[in-house]
């Protein structure tokens, strides 16, 4: 019985300690005197690795999700004779929910896992320790640019996802299903509010970007420096960040649209 209690206590303490270490890492990486000369080129390289390389999967998924929404929305709405509202349905569901959430899930799989594996391997091959030996802070040199690139890439990717999806939905409903294009766009424009819908969607994307990169980088730093350990950390990154995204999405949606 006491052993059982001790197990629970031990795991709780180690969780809290892990969260504390993650917060300290984030603080040391981000809250430093800015040195734009050295840090901006590093951030650009990471933006390429994290953002540009994720663009293809994001754009293709956005296109198909938008097209499916158009098809599904049309088949339901046509029963009520209000197939003109399909634009509103596609735009609102993409901008409010699907763009930030699906982009973040794909981002966790595409960029988050790569971040963890890269940093884990750097740790296993003692590159991080060597950097420290020659007097370079690995938090500033390695971790900070990746965090910033993640924060910047996520909202950009999410907006690209949304716009590609909306044009995909427009393609299906206007060109194939024959919804009148004027009413498609005007119903959408009168329903979507810039502040309430689009800005809130972007805020969600920023929060998810923060969550995914933070989890990924921390898991990389904490990984056991063996090939098995790196594999475990990579899996954990994807699982933890996906769960975190979905839970945060519920909280944010309740705060933004729930009128609580």
User: Which residues are at the interface with another protein (CB under 8 A)?
Assistant: 41, 44-45, 47-48, 51-52, 55, 80-82, 84-85, 91, 95, 152-153, 155-157, 159-160, 162-163, 166, 182-183, 185-190, 192-194, 197-198, 202
Residue 193 Cβ vs another protein, minimum distance, rounded to whole Å: 6
Residue 173 Cβ vs another protein, minimum distance, rounded to whole Å: 14
Cβ proximity to another protein: between 139 and 156 the closer is 156
Cβ proximity to another protein: between 25 and 95 the closer is 95
Q: Which residue in 202, 166, 209, 158 sits closest to 68, CA to CA?
A: 166
Cβ proximity to another protein: between 179 and 211 the closer is 179
Cβ proximity to another protein: between 79 and 259 the closer is 79
Q: Which residue in 98, 118, 27 sits closest to 128, CA to CA?
A: 118
Burial string for 116-150 (b: 16+ CB within 10 Å, else e) reads: bbbbbebbbeeebeebeeeeeebbbbbbbbbbbbb
Q: How far apart are CA 145 and CA 180, in angstroms?
A: 47
Residue 146 Cβ vs another protein, minimum distance, rounded to whole Å: 14
Q: Which residue in 54, 61, 63 sits closest to 166, CA to CA?
A: 63
Residue 45 Cβ vs another protein, minimum distance, rounded to whole Å: 6
Place of tokens 């020659």: 134
């Amino acid at each position: 019985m006491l052993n059982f209690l001790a197990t629970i206590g031990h795991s709780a303490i180690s969780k809290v300690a892990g969260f504390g270490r993650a917060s300290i890492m984030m603080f040391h990486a981000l809250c430093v005197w800015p040195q734009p000369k050295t840090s901006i080129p590093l951030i650009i390289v990471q933006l390429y690795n994290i953002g540009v390389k994720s663009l293809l999967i994001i754009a293709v998924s956005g296109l198909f999700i938008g097209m499916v929404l158009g098809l599904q929305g049309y088949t339901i709405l046509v029963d009520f004779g209000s197939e003109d509202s399909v634009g509103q349905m596609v735009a609102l569901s993409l901008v409010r929910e699907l763009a930030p959430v699906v982009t973040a899930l794909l981002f966790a799989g595409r960029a988050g896992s790569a971040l963890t594996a890269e940093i884990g391997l750097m740790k296993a091959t003692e590159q991080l320790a060597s950097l420290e030996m020659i007097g370079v802070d690995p938090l500033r040199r390695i971790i900070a640019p990746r965090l910033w690139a993640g924060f910047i890439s996520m909202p950009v990717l999410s907006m690209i996802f949304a716009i590609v999806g909306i044009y995909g939905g427009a393609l299906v409903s206007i060109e194939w299903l024959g919804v009148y294009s004027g009413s498609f766009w005007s119903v959408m424009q009168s329903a979507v509010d810039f502040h309430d819908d689009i800005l809130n969607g972007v805020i969600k994307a920023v929060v998810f970007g923060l969550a995914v990169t933070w989890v990924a980088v921390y898991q990389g730093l904490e990984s056991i420096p063996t090939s098995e350990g790196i594999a475990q950390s990579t899996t954990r990154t994807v699982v933890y960040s996906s769960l975190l995204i979905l839970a945060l999405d519920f909280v944010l949606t309740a705060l933004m649209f729930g009128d609580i």
